[in-house]
Amino acid sequence: MSAATATDAQAPAKPKSKLMLIIVGVVVLALIGAGAAFFLLKKNAGEDEDDEDYAPAAAQQSSGKPRTPPTFLPMDNMVVNLADQGGNRFVQLGITLQVQDAKTGDELKAYMPTIRSGVLLLISQRTTDEILQIKGKEQLSADIIAEISGVMGYEIDEPEAEGAERKSKRRRAPPNPVQAVLFSSFIVQ
């Protein structure tokens, strides 16, 4: 009987051990899956935090101060005769100035009649061919910034001549509060 009892004892033990092996395998796979999901979610959250930390730090490093959004100061639309022969061509412009902050915008508003007059004179010296080209528009924009800087007393860096070597080191002007001239409309007739 001992042989029969030993066989009977082994028979029920085999299904229990197989069942136990399956349960342990499922638990191990579940733990591995949970660990992988946690690792991936933690990695993605870490990248998002790094991006958030990097952007303000970069802005603060570049200027030393927290960055503020620019202020936009629209000027009244202008219709100006161009310097073409015959004088029958004109341009209608909508200009918006991008300035450093609201304080600068308020300062510019006080001088707006003088600024507008200077801008009108600059545009009236251009020809149709100059004003229709991208380089002409870019040059007009730079000239308008220089005109406004002159009226307001802002220092500007003079562009160096091409091919000219720098013989003396000159000090750079502080950043100009007038950051850009934006054309909101530009019609040449």
Residues 98 and 179 in one domain: yes
Tell whether 164 is covered by a domain: no
Residues 54 and 97 in one domain: no
Residues 119 and 83 in one domain: yes
Average pLDDT over the chain reads: 79
CA angle 87, 89, 93 (to 5 degrees): 125
Q: Give the per-residue pLDDT at 93.
A: 94
Out of 21-25, 171-175, 182-186, the most confident range is 182-186
Residue range of the domain that includes 10: 1-67
Among the listed ranges 25-29, 39-43, 88-92, 176-180, which one has the minimum average pLDDT value? 39-43
Last residue of a domain, one of 28, 47, 67: 67
Could you write out the three-class secondary structure of the chain?
CHHHHHHHHHHHHHHHHHHHHHHHHHHHHHHHHHHHHHHHHHHHHHHHHHHHHHHHHHHHHHHCCCCCCCEEEECCCEEEECCCCCCCCEEEEEEEEEECCHHHHHHHHHCHHHHHHHHHHHHHCCCHHHHHCHHHHHHHHHHHHHHHHHHHCCCCCCCCCCCCCCCCCCCCCCCCCEEEEEEEEEEEC
Residues 124 and 138 in one domain: yes
Residue 26 has pLDDT above 90, yes or no: no
Residues 46 and 79 in one domain: no
Tell whether 163 is covered by a domain: no
Tell whether 29 is covered by a domain: yes
Q: What is the pLDDT of residues 78-110, one digit of tens each?
A: 999 998 888 789 999 999 999 988 998 999 999
Residues 50 and 143 in one domain: no
Residue 47 has pLDDT above 80, yes or no: no
Q: Residue 108's domain is classified under what CATH number?
A: 3.30.479.30
Residues 36 and 77 in one domain: no
Residues 6 and 62 in one domain: yes
pTM of the model: 0.58
